[in-house]
């Protein structure tokens, strides 16, 4: 979230799309309902009429996988009707930038496409820059190559009629939603976008979110109270574990993973430290060397010295341009080339796409280590339905973990709020926190490598591992302090006002502004620097003060970065530092300083041409991107059909699906588009009573009783066509697998008119399996889903694949 | 039975409403068993601990009550002082108690499934850590790739994969990340991508 949960109440209009917040984030409704009481309008856009739709002021249906078309139509509406926030767009976005001559777009493809590699050469999409490297601009927007003109041109194709033909949304509904939501494009109104897995689970997922970013920027809704793009995330610490980057492509603090071509730290830093010639850009990532060297100091301690590149050579290098995501690793496992695997509290045999392939891949492992609080379908895959344990070699170590109230530590919510939780009881039996397991395992590995030697032992032997308490257990406070970072020697540094400040060796670093690139500081994650300081554990604070009256609660726990509650908040003010909307001022330049939320940087407002900085500090040129040349699949979002789609064609262009996602080609990766054997669109969804694949919640009688078994929602019209009654047992099949479940015939879901044809959609939760309740049949909906992912993120396409439904 | 509203909530939470309802004349024997072990004579002996919900990412505050005599958690409810949820919880959050030791389905021992076996065996932690470390080392040493096919030094291991976790604390994420990078792993992913 750019904003935070309580801030939803400050909104005038909430567009909830790709999210069923009432079902999956029920407590968010506390603030959404308060916004409604204050007069806000709530819009729900969803293939189903959900619990969120039920409390909305306006509901519009769309077919799964057509969100870019829906929102592209909104961009067209905003530009055509001149509804955009002109001062905001002019000052804070790249609307006036001139795009270079190589950019082009033709029939669904951008310039620079290589069909064999399914990749674009994004250098074709660069801005035109002058001799000094400053982007050329046309503030009058007369130049046909300026971003605003290209944007208008691109989305002029997204007429309400064309959009309706793709999404199945009646034109009247489209226009009503566009009108309601674009009313937030004035200085005194705020519009908030709320999304969840309904947007990320597509081969175009990242570009759907980009489309919403374009809408929000045009309407001046980023950085303001009651605005923003708010990802409602679904796991307790998915935000923190993303910030901590337990991911193949990034290392802590969203630093890029070192690639094979970056053989030295110097090359790595050169390629990953953006430069700008824009005089008023802060270009925050110019600090990358400080963050990277401080991270290497946390990892390798005294062994990381300037002479050895701070241990950079010991960090594994991923091949350039290669992805190592779950979809990739599952495919490699399936081909038998991965021997061992760790899985921590995740249930891929229930929650990952194409479950038959997942299970087959697991049988190819020599060993699997799994830690969890309950057993699940992944740890027990070897005796699942249809498998003979006597034929499966995989050794499984199932480690009993402490549950959330049996351990101590912090977790970060969607609003980037890191909150400390305390331990209420000892875990039962021999269960122990995951941190303790890791702590012990690394100590054992160090012992083995010291005794026996082995391949490249340095990173293991030199890994700084002072994380134990006096009883030899993992101490989360030590890890939290390492994450915050230390001064490693006595230093005198300048504070932002230019005054000298002295720090002693062993002091905790007060904020990331003091991190150094010379090895004199450590920091496990620069974004969390300031979370645990000499003043104490900021994440454990419980202050209820609310000085702005806007629900920022600055003394409650701690928020990254530097306790800033709304990011890009200087965009809530005009260039002279005065809030666009004085009634909801989160920030104001007053008496030579910023008052309110922690500002994005200490600089004065940008009307100060010498010291002032642009608000979008994480972008090299300081402005937000309407035109985004950094994406792998095009600088403007474009509608493509899901990989598996009902028509086998795209009503918008000759390019059916996103041209840049990776296609897996194993014998188990079948697809069926426009195939009469699989005529219905299917989408998966969550349930209030279950969590993800149900691996925790199915073990709890209170919850299982409320939602005991798998079902498929089908419309009365479809039920009539296939002669199914409410409550009948049906079989849902895709080309990859099939699953039995109960039919729920409900008017919450209805047929769509797509390109002149009637297309039915069905919907299924994915919270069931076979281990509990115990069954000889597998009730995992993911037996049906395709293992294909978004072009930018590799997030699987669980929303929008093709099935058939038949009575059993 | 003279109890305040808060104590009533605590008791009814502990017992799945069992004891409170049985005091009203209903027989809910099975849920009483857990309570009997706790020997709650005075609820004032409960220690309160603040925690955060273990499900979605709203980050609702909760208060866990632990019986100071038995050390067992006897109730979990919404934290009324928390600025986000103000004491409210959803169905899952309100059931968090059933993830604690009160749930007999919890894993409480290290389990091991040998190759081609059809059952779990109970093992000790020392054995498990030792055996896992041996396998990690053997697989890593056998599959370690010092250079890629372009001759670039890559110091990586493609034969061990790593998945998870959005369900552990930031501090645990930090040490886990240190471990996987030190081992040289590159197949690293977690729930953020599903």
Q: Find all residues with CB under 8 Å of A247, minimum gap 6, and list them.
A: B188, B189, B190, B192, B193
Closest to B171 measured CA to CA, from A560, A315, A418, A310? A418
Q: Nearest residue on chain A to B151, judged by CA atoms?
A: A260
Closest residue to B57, CB basis, from A236, A430, A525: A236
pLDDT at residue A497 greater than cutoff 90: no
Closest residue to A393, CB basis, from B116, B144, B178: B116
Please tell me the predicted confidence (pLDDT) of residue A480. 98
**Which residues of chain A are within 8 Å of residue B70 when distances are taken between CB atoms?**
none
Is the Cβ pair B172, A433 closer than 8 Å?
Answer: yes
Please tell me the predicted confidence (pLDDT) of residue A767. 98
Tokens 């303001």 belong to A224
CA distance to partner chain B, nearest, from residue A491 (Å): 26
Please tell me the predicted confidence (pLDDT) of residue A571. 98
- Tell whether A774 is within 8 A of chain B (Cβ): no
Question: A110: how many CB neighbours lie within 10 A of its CB?
Answer: 22
Average pLDDT, chain A: 97
Closest to B38 measured CA to CA, from B5, B13, B63, B62? B13
A802: enclosing H helix or E strand: strand A799-807
**Which residues of chain A are within 8 Å of residue B185 when distances are taken between CB atoms?**
316
In angstroms, the CA B180 to CA A340 distance is 13
> What integer is the mean pLDDT of B31-38?
58
In angstroms, the CA A761 to CA A749 distance is 7
SS3 content of chain B, % helix, strand, coil (to 5): 35, 25, 40
With contact defined as beta carbons under 8 Å apart, do A585 and A596 qualify? yes
Looking at chain A, the whole-number percentage of residues with pLDDT higher than 90 is: 99
Q: Nearest residue on chain B to A437, judged by CA atoms?
A: B129
A262-308 per-position pLDDT tens digit: 999 999 999 999 999 999 999 999 999 999 999 999 999 999 999 99
Q: Find all residues with CB under 8 Å of B6, minimum gap 6, and list them.
A: none
Q: Nearest residue on chain B to A546, judged by CA atoms?
A: B83
Least confident of A311-325, A586-600, A601-615, B13-27: B13-27
In angstroms, the CA A722 to CA A81 distance is 45
- CA separation, residue A770 to residues A384, A695, A807 (Å): 7, 11, 21
- Tell whether B120 is within 8 A of chain A (Cβ): yes
Closest residue to A442, CB basis, from B83, B109, B179: B179
**Which residues of chain A are within 8 Å of residue B106 when distances are taken between CB atoms?**
373-374, 400, 403, 428-429, 431
> Which segments of A156-261 does DSSP mark as H helices, in order?
160-167, 171-182, 197-200, 205-218, 238-243
**Which two tokens mark A722?**
């296939």
Please tell me the predicted confidence (pLDDT) of residue B35. 60
- Tell whether B80 is within 8 A of chain A (Cβ): no
Residue A639's Cα: distance from chain center in Å? 20
- Tell whether B134 is within 8 A of chain A (Cβ): yes
Please tell me the predicted confidence (pLDDT) of residue B15. 43
Name the band, by pLDDT with cuts 50, 70 and 90, for residue A496: confident
Q: Nearest residue on chain A to B52, judged by CA atoms?
A: A421
Name the band, by pLDDT with cuts 50, 70 and 90, for residue B34: low
**Which two tokens mark A363?**
């049988």
Q: Nearest residue on chain B to A237, judged by CA atoms?
A: B166
Closest residue to B128, CB basis, from A397, A429, A691: A397
Q: Find all residues with CB under 8 Å of A204, minimum gap 6, and list them.
A: A65, A67, A68, A633, A637, A639, A640, A658, A790, A791
With contact defined as beta carbons under 8 Å apart, do B115 and A396 qualify? no
In angstroms, the CA A347 to CA A660 distance is 28
Provide the Cα torsion B104, B106, B111, B114; round to 10°.
90
Dihedral sign for Cα B158, B159, B164, B168, please. negative
Dihedral sign for Cα B190, A600, A496, A501, please. negative
Please tell me the predicted confidence (pLDDT) of residue B36. 60
In angstroms, the CA B144 to CA B142 distance is 6
In angstroms, the CA A552 to CA A241 distance is 23
A359-417 per-position pLDDT tens digit: 999 999 999 999 999 999 999 999 999 999 999 999 999 999 999 999 999 999 999 99
Pairing relationship of beta strands A395-400 and A593-596 according to DSSP bridges = unpaired
In angstroms, the CA A250 to CA A368 distance is 24
Q: Which of residues 544-603 of A touch B (CB under 8 A)?
A: 544, 551, 553, 556
A194: enclosing H helix or E strand: strand A191-195
CA distance to partner chain B, nearest, from residue A521 (Å): 17
In angstroms, the CA A645 to CA A658 distance is 12
B92-123 per-position pLDDT tens digit: 999 999 999 999 999 999 999 999 999 999 99
Q: How many residues are present in chain B?
A: 194
**Which residues of chain B are within 8 Å of residue A444 when distances are taken between CB atoms?**
129-130, 133
Closest residue to A483, CB basis, from B103, B171, B184: B171
Q: Which of residues 173-192 of B touch A (CB under 8 A)?
A: 173-192
- CA separation, residue A560 to residues A42, A416, A418 (Å): 28, 6, 8
Q: Nearest residue on chain B to A445, judged by CA atoms?
A: B133
CA-atom Rg of chain B in angstroms = 23
Q: In the sheet that A558-559 helps form, which strands lie side by side, from edge to edge?
A: A409-412, A417-421, A558-559
> Which segments of A627-767 does DSSP mark as H helices, in order?
701-706, 716-721
CB burial readout A588-620, b (16+ within 10 A) else e: bbeeeebebbbbbbebbbbeeeeebbbbbbbbb
Is the Cβ pair A246, B164 closer than 8 Å?
Answer: yes
In angstroms, the CA A778 to CA A769 distance is 5
With contact defined as beta carbons under 8 Å apart, do A740 and A781 qualify? no
Closest residue to B188, CB basis, from A324, A414, A463: A324
Question: B8: how many CB neighbours lie within 10 A of its CB?
Answer: 14
Is the Cβ pair B168, A345 closer than 8 Å?
Answer: yes
In angstroms, the CA A407 to CA A727 distance is 43
- Tell whether A721 is within 8 A of chain B (Cβ): no
The SS3 of residue A267 is: helix
A688-702 per-position pLDDT tens digit: 999 999 999 999 999
- Tell whether B36 is within 8 A of chain A (Cβ): no
With contact defined as beta carbons under 8 Å apart, do A428 and B68 qualify? no
Is the Cβ pair A431, B108 closer than 8 Å?
Answer: yes
ipTM at complex level: 0.97
Name the band, by pLDDT with cuts 50, 70 and 90, for residue B45: confident
CA distance to partner chain A, nearest, from residue B69 (Å): 12
Q: How many residues are present in chain A?
A: 808
> What integer is the mean pLDDT of B3-24?
42
pLDDT at residue A317 greater than cutoff 70: yes
**Which residues of chain B are within 8 Å of residue A324 when distances are taken between CB atoms?**
186-189
Closest residue to B170, CB basis, from A5, A237, A391: A237
A331-359 per-position pLDDT tens digit: 999 999 999 999 999 999 999 999 999 99
Please tell me the predicted confidence (pLDDT) of residue A409. 98
Is the Cβ pair A444, B129 closer than 8 Å?
Answer: yes
Q: Find all residues with CB under 8 Å of A484, minimum gap 6, and list them.
A: A508, A509, A523, A524, A528, A529, A530, A531, A532, A533
DSSP letter at A134 equals: P
Of the residues B90, B174, B184, B186, the best mutation for testing chain A's interface (the one with the most A CB atoms within 10 Å of its CB) is B174
The SS3 of residue B163 is: strand
Of the residues A5, A239, A316, the best mutation for testing chain B's interface (the one with the most B CB atoms within 10 Å of its CB) is A316
In angstroms, the CA B39 to CA B37 distance is 6
In angstroms, the CA A2 to CA A224 distance is 9
Closest to A317 measured CA to CA, from B141, B179, B181, B142? B181
Is the Cβ pair B106, A373 closer than 8 Å?
Answer: yes
Provide the Cα torsion A317, A321, A327, A329; round to 10°.
-30
With contact defined as beta carbons under 8 Å apart, do A324 and B160 qualify? no
B136-177 per-position pLDDT tens digit: 999 999 999 999 999 999 999 999 999 999 999 999 999 999
DSSP letter at A624 equals: B
Q: Which of residues 149-168 of B touch A (CB under 8 A)?
A: 150, 152-168
Closest residue to B156, CB basis, from A243, A317, A692: A317
Is the Cβ pair B148, A319 closer than 8 Å?
Answer: yes
pLDDT at residue B124 greater than cutoff 60: yes
- Tell whether A235 is within 8 A of chain B (Cβ): yes
Strand partners, A714: A745
**Which residues of chain A are within 8 Å of residue B177 when distances are taken between CB atoms?**
244-246, 251-252
Is the Cβ pair A260, B150 closer than 8 Å?
Answer: yes
With contact defined as beta carbons under 8 Å apart, do A136 and A649 qualify? no
Strand partners, A137: A97
**Is the peptide bond between A184 and the residue preceding it cis, with omega within 30 degrees of 0?**
no
In angstroms, the CA A614 to CA A606 distance is 6
pLDDT at residue A782 greater than cutoff 90: yes
Is the Cβ pair A341, B72 closer than 8 Å?
Answer: no
With contact defined as beta carbons under 8 Å apart, do B29 and B44 qualify? no
Least confident of A490-504, A727-741, B3-17: B3-17
- Tell whether A341 is within 8 A of chain B (Cβ): yes
CA distance to partner chain A, nearest, from residue B165 (Å): 5
**Which residues of chain A are within 8 Å of residue B131 when distances are taken between CB atoms?**
397
In angstroms, the CA A397 to CA B120 distance is 9
Closest residue to B85, CB basis, from A27, A233, A246: A27
Please tell me the predicted confidence (pLDDT) of residue B8. 42
**Which residues of chain B are within 8 Å of residue A525 when distances are taken between CB atoms?**
174
Of the residues B149, B178, B179, B185, the best mutation for testing chain A's interface (the one with the most A CB atoms within 10 Å of its CB) is B178
Please tell me the predicted confidence (pLDDT) of residue B44. 58
Please tell me the predicted confidence (pLDDT) of residue B16. 42
């Amino acid at each position: 979230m750019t904003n935070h949960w309580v801030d939803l109440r400050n909104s005038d209009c909430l567009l909830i799309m790709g999210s069923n917040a009432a079902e999956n984030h029920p407590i968010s409704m506390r603030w959404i309902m308060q916004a409604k009481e204050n007069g806000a309008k709530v819009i729900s856009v969803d293939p189903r009429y959900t619990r969120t739709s039920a409390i909305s002021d306006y509901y519009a249906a769309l077919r799964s996988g057509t969100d870019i078309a829906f929102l592209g139509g909104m961009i067209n509406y905003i530009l055509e009707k001149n509804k955009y926030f002109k001062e905001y767009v002019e000052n804070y976005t790249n609307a006036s930038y001139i795009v270079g001559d190589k950019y082009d777009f033709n029939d669904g493809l951008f310039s620079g496409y290589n069909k064999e590699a399914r990749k674009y050469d994004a250098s074709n999409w660069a801005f035109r820059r002058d001799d000094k490297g400053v982007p050329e601009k046309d503030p009058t927007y007369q130049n046909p190559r300026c971003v605003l003109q290209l944007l208008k041109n691109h989305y002029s194709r997204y007429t309400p009629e064309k959009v309706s033909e793709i999404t199945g949304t009646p034109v009247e509904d489209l226009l009503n939603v566009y009108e309601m939501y674009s009313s937030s494009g004035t200085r005194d109104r705020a519009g908030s976008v709320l999304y969840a897995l309904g947007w990320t689970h597509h081969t175009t997922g990242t570009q759907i979110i980009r489309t919403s970013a374009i809408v929000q920027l045009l309407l001046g809704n980023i950085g303001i109270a009651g605005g923003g793009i708010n990802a409602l995330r679904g796991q307790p610490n998915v935000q923190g574990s993303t910030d901590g980057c337990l991911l193949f492509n990034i290392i802590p603090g969203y630093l890029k993973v070192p690639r094979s071509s970056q053989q030295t730290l110097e090359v790595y830093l050169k390629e990953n430290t953006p430069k700008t010639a824009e005089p008023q850009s802060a270009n925050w990532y110019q600090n990358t060397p400080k963050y990277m060297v401080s991270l290497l100091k946390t990892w390798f301690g005294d062994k990381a010295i300037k002479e050895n590149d701070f241990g950079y050579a010991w960090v594994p290098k991923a091949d350039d341009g290669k992805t190592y995501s779950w979809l990739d690793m599952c495919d490699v496992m399936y081909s038998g080339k991965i021997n061992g695997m760790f899985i921590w509290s995740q249930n891929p045999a229930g929650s990952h796409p194409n479950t038959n392939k997942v299970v087959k891949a697991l049988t190819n492992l020599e060993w699997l280590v799994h830690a969890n609080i309950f057993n699940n379908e992944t740890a027990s895959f070897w005796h699942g339905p249809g498998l003979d344990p006597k034929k499966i070699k995989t050794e499984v170590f199932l480690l009993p973990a402490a549950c959330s109230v049996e351990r101590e530590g912090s977790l970060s919510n969607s609003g980037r709020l890191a909150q400390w939780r305390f331990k209420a009881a000892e875990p039962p039996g021999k269960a122990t926190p995951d941190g303790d397991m890791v702590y012990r395992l690394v100590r054992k590995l160090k012992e083995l490598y010291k005794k026996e030697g082995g391949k490249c032992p340095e990173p293991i032997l030199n890994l700084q591992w002072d994380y134990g308490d006096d009883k030899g257990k993992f101490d989360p406070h030590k890890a939290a302090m390492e994450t915050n970072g230390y001064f490693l020697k006595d230093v005198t540094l300048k504070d932002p006002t230019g005054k000298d400040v002295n720090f002693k060796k062993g002091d905790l670093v007060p904020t990331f502004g003091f991190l150094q690139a010379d090895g004199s500081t450590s920091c496990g994650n620069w974004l969390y620097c300031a979370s645990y300081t000499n003043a104490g554990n900021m994440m454990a604070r419980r202050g209820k003060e609310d000085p702005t009256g806007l629900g920022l609660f600055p003394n409650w726990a701690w928020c990254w970065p530097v306790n800033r509650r709304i990011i890009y908040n200087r965009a809530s003010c005009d260039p002279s530092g005065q809030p666009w909307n004085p009634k909801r001022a989160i920030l104001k330049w007053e008496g030579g300083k910023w008052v309110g939320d922690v500002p994005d940087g200490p600089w004065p407002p940008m009307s100060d041409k010498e010291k002032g900085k642009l608000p979008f500090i994480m972008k090299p040129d300081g402005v937000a991107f309407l035109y985004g040349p950094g994406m792998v699949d095009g600088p403007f979002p474009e509608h493509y059909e899901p990989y598996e789609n009902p028509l086998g064609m795209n009503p918008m262009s000759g390019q059916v699906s996103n041209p840049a996602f990776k296609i897996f080609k194993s014998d188990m990766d079948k697809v069926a588009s426009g195939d009469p054997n699989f005529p219905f669109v299917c989408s998966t969804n969550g349930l209030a009573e279950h969590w993800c694949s149900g691996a925790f919640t199915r073990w709890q009688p209170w919850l299982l009783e409320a939602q005991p078994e798998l079902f498929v929602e089908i419309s009365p019209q479809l039920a009539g066509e296939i002669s199914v009654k409410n409550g009948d047992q049906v079989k849902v099949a895709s080309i990859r697998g099939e699953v039995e479940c109960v039919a729920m015939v409900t008017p919450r879901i209805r047929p769509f008119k797509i390109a002149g044809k009637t297309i039915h959609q069905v919907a299924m939760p994915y919270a069931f399996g076979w281990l509990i309740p115990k069954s000889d049949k597998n009730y995992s909906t993911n037996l049906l889903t395709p293992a294909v992912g978004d072009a930018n993120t590799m997030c699987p396409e669980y929303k929008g694949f093709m099935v058939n439904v038949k009575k059993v | 039975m003279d109890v305040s509203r808060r104590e009533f909530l605590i008791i009814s939470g502990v017992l799945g409403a069992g004891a409170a309802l049985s005091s009203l004349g209903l027989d809910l024997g099975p849920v009483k068993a857990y309570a009997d072990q706790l020997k709650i004579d005075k609820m004032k002996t409960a220690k309160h601990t603040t925690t955060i919900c273990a499900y979605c990412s709203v980050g609702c505050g909760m208060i866990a009550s632990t019986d100071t005599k038995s050390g067992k958690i006897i109730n979990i409810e919404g934290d009324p002082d928390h600025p986000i949820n103000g004491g409210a919880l959803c169905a899952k959050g309100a059931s968090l108690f059933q993830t604690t030791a009160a749930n007999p389905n919890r894993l409480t021992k290290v389990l091991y499934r040998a190759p081609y076996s059809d059952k779990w065996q109970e093992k000790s932690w020392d054995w498990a850590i030792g055996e896992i470390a041996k396998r990690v080392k053997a697989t890593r040493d056998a599959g370690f790739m010092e250079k890629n096919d372009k001759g670039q030094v890559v110091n990586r291991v493609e034969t061990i994969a790593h998945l998870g976790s959005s369900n552990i604390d930031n501090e645990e994420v930090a040490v886990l990340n240190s471990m996987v990078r030190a081992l040289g792993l590159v197949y690293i992913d977690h729930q953020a991508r599903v």
